[in-house]
């Protein structure tokens, strides 16, 4: 492969002059003279235009599960582009790849989740959920069931419906969100919200909060509960034992649909194909994206139960929802091959039996650091909590979010890409990361913590 030579200074200038990157402060983008420009990647390492090799502790954006540089994904895209680059799936047409991919996903999901609607992003998938659920209840003769219950600090995307379903208050401020019909309840964040509590009591309280809200809204008005098996963008929040079984029981008690947003947790991240399988629950709807194609193409999928499909089939009306790129043949062909790679290389087993436990052990070493309040992981996703005082969940400067970005920047400076969510340093590496790279990731974090403790104190 010939790699292009980029004029990085010129690209940075053009970036400031013309490009608005996602989820960014445009003032900061300008003040630092343009974005960091990533030009190449291989395995678990990204390379920027300034000549830095950076270990990617975030798999891009929680998505490049099979790692970078997979030539066969490029080849399959090329072949599909030459055969049929595009045709839509509107009005009862289709192309081979999305049909094959739907059948493949149905096999992985198992049980009753046998029908798949395609979109291009996780946000779009959750928009599909929003419209599908309300349409379902309308056909069922319960059109007043419109309300979605979600959690504070959840992330379900950046479209109007996605950001409304999400529970990020700083996102709600922009655009006057959430839209009506979304209720946010407490998140199962033991370290942050239940620090001094017995985890079982905290779990019962978090589940009870859902039931209380259902009763306050009126069970006959509640359409669905949506949640990520492990909240990713909210700071890798791993719920206490029994939480998901409790949530499922409450949903069943009131006949409410249960939606598992597997955009991060799907495709092996927790050591099973899907997070709901790890927690032993049966959702009615599953949203997936990211790991579906390992980020090589934009594609997402919304799986629904047969009850939902049969309900939609009980009327003649079209489900008047869909995107030009729903079931895009190139994206679907790449996703299929990506799943084939995960199966062939047994990457889900690798997460569960090898790198997951190895990562947990490596992270546990960080628990002893004076700045670390907790190190937690499940499968191959994890976080450390940065605290001002060991044994407490007290934060530097008496406020959330001061220390996290400082430690993150120190990590990036030392060659590790991680993200800071307030004062949690989060990690979600590619499944191909080696033991040596995991050790390096942890020792860079330790060094970054040492380096910044002076500044922080
Ligand atoms: N849902 C979850 C759980 C996510 O983590 C994300 C993105 O991070 C989304 C939805 C939105 O996906 P996208 O950014 O592809 O729209």
**Residue-wise pLDDT tens digits, 4-29:** 899 999 999 999 999 999 999 999 99
**Residue-wise pLDDT tens digits, 167-226:** 999 999 999 999 999 999 999 999 999 999 999 999 999 999 999 999 999 999 999 999
Ligand 1 atom with the smallest distance to the CA of 158 is 16
The ipTM value here is: 0.99
* Cα distance between residue 23 and residue 25, in whole Å: 7
Q: Which of 107-111, 391-395, 453-457 has the lowest mean pLDDT?
A: 453-457
Best of 23, 64, 118, 122 for a ligand 1 pocket test (most atoms within 8 Å of beta carbon): 122
Nearest of 108, 55, 3 to residue 338 by alpha carbon: 108
Best of 148, 156, 269 for a ligand 1 pocket test (most atoms within 8 Å of beta carbon): 156
Interval between CA 392 and ligand 1 midpoint (Å): 31
The CA-CA-CA angle for residues 254, 262, 180, to 5°, reads 55
The sign one gets for the Cα dihedral 271, 273, 276, 277 is negative
Is the pLDDT reported for residue 2 higher than 80? Answer: no
Among protein residues, the one whose CA lies closest to atom 13 of ligand 1: 122
Is the pLDDT reported for residue 454 higher than 90? Answer: no
433 lines ligand 1 (CB under 6 A): no
Band (pLDDT 50/70/90 cuts) for residue 164 is very high
Q: Determine the pLDDT at residue 425.
A: 98
295 lines ligand 1 (CB under 6 A): no
The whole-number average pLDDT for the span 398-410 is: 95
The CA-CA-CA angle for residues 246, 252, 256, to 5°, reads 110
Q: Determine the pLDDT at residue 334.
A: 99
Q: Determine the pLDDT at residue 73.
A: 98
Interval between CA 125 and ligand 1 midpoint (Å): 9
**Residue-wise pLDDT tens digits, 354-380:** 999 999 999 999 999 999 999 999 999
* Cα distance between residue 109 and residue 277, in whole Å: 9
263 lines ligand 1 (CB under 6 A): yes
Interval between CA 156 and ligand 1 midpoint (Å): 5
Report whether 290 contacts 57 (CB < 8 A): no
Is the pLDDT reported for residue 403 higher than 80? Answer: yes
Q: Which position has the token pair 């509640």?
A: 222
Q: Determine the pLDDT at residue 455.
A: 85
Q: Give percent above pLDDT 70 in the chain.
A: 100
Interval between CA 315 and ligand 1 midpoint (Å): 32
Report whether 184 contacts 167 (CB < 8 A): yes
228 lines ligand 1 (CB under 6 A): yes
288 lines ligand 1 (CB under 6 A): no
Q: Which position has the token pair 């998901």?
A: 244
Ligand 1 atom with the smallest distance to the CA of 126 is 10
Among protein residues, the one whose CA lies closest to atom 1 of ligand 1: 156
Best of 289, 295, 419 for a ligand 1 pocket test (most atoms within 8 Å of beta carbon): 289
What would the DSSP string read from start to end of 237-264? BPPPTTHHHHHHHHHHHTT-EEEEE-TT
Report whether 326 contacts 298 (CB < 8 A): no
Interval between CA 449 and ligand 1 midpoint (Å): 29
Is the pLDDT reported for residue 243 higher than 80? Answer: yes
Best of 60, 126, 155 for a ligand 1 pocket test (most atoms within 8 Å of beta carbon): 155
Characterize the bridge pairing of strands 257-261 and 222-227: parallel
Q: Is the peptide bond before 178 cis (omega within 30 degrees of 0)?
A: yes
Does the pTM exceed 0.90? yes
Q: Determine the pLDDT at residue 457.
A: 78
232 lines ligand 1 (CB under 6 A): yes
233 lines ligand 1 (CB under 6 A): yes
Q: Which position has the token pair 């678990």?
A: 44
**Residue-wise pLDDT tens digits, 317-348:** 999 999 999 999 999 999 999 999 999 999 99
Q: Determine the pLDDT at residue 337.
A: 99
Among protein residues, the one whose CA lies closest to atom 7 of ligand 1: 157
Characterize the bridge pairing of strands 113-119 and 182-185: unpaired
* Cα distance between residue 259 and residue 150, in whole Å: 10
Interval between CA 336 and ligand 1 midpoint (Å): 20
Report whether 433 contacts 396 (CB < 8 A): no
168 lines ligand 1 (CB under 6 A): no
The CA-CA-CA angle for residues 95, 96, 101, to 5°, reads 115
SS3 406: helix
Sheet bearing 424-427, strands edge to edge: 372-378, 381-386, 424-427, 419-421
Q: Average pLDDT over the chain, rounded to whole?
A: 97
């Amino acid at each position: 492969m010939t790699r292009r030579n980029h004029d990085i200074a010129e690209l940075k200038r053009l970036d400031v002059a013309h490009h608005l990157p996602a989820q960014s402060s445009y003032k900061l983008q300008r003040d630092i003279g343009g974005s960091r420009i990533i030009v190449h990647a291989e395995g678990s390492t990204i390379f920027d235009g300034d000549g830095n090799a950076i270990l990617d502790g975030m798999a891009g954006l929680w998505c490049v599960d099979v790692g970078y540089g997979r030539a066969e994904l490029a080849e399959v895209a090329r072949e599909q582009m030459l055969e049929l680059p595009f045709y839509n799936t509107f009005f009862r047409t289709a192309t081979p790849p999305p049909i094959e991919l739907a059948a493949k996903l149905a096999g992985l999901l198992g049980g009753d989740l046998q029908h798949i609607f395609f979109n291009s992003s996780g946000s779009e998938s959750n928009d599909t959920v929003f419209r599908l659920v309300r349409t379902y209840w309308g056909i069922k003769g319960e059109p007043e069931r419109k309300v979605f219950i979600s959690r504070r600090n959840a992330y379900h995307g950046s479209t109007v419906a996605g950001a409304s379903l999400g529970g990020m208050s700083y996102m709600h401020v922009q655009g006057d969100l959430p839209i009506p019909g979304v209720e946010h309840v407490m998140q199962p964040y033991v370290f942050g919200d239940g620090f001094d509590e017995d985890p079982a009591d905290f779990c019962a309280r978090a589940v009870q909060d859902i039931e209380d809200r259902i009763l306050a809204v009126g069970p006959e008005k509640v359409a669905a509960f949506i949640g990520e098996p492990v909240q990713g963008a909210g700071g890798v929040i791993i719920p206490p034992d029994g939480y998901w079984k409790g949530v499922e029981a409450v949903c069943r008690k009131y006949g409410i649909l249960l939606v598992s947003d597997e955009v991060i947790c799907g495709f092996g991240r927790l050591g099973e194909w899907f997070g709901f399988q790890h927690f032993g629950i049966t959702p009615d709807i599953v949203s997936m994206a990211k790991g579906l194609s390992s980020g090589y193409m934009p594609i997402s999928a919304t799986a629904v139960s047969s009850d939902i499909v049969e309900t939609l089939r009980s009327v003649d009306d079209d489900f008047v929802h869909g995107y030009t790129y729903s079931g895009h043949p190139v994206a679907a062909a790449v996703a299929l091959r990506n799943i084939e790679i995960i199966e062939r290389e047994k990457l889900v087993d690798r997460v569960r039996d090898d790198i997951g436990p190895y990562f947990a052990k490596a992270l546990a070493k960080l628990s002893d650091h004076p700045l670390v309040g907790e190190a937690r992981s499940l499968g191959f996703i994890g976080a450390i909590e940065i605290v001002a005082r060991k044994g407490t969940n007290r934060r530097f400067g008496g406020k959330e979010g001061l220390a996290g970005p400082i430690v993150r920047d120190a990590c990036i400076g030392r060659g590790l890409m991680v993200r800071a969510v307030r004062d949690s340093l989060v990690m979600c590496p590619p499944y191909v990361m080696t033991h040596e790279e995991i050790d390096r990731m942890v020792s860079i974090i330790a060094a970054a913590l040492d380096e910044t403790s002076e500044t922080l104190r």
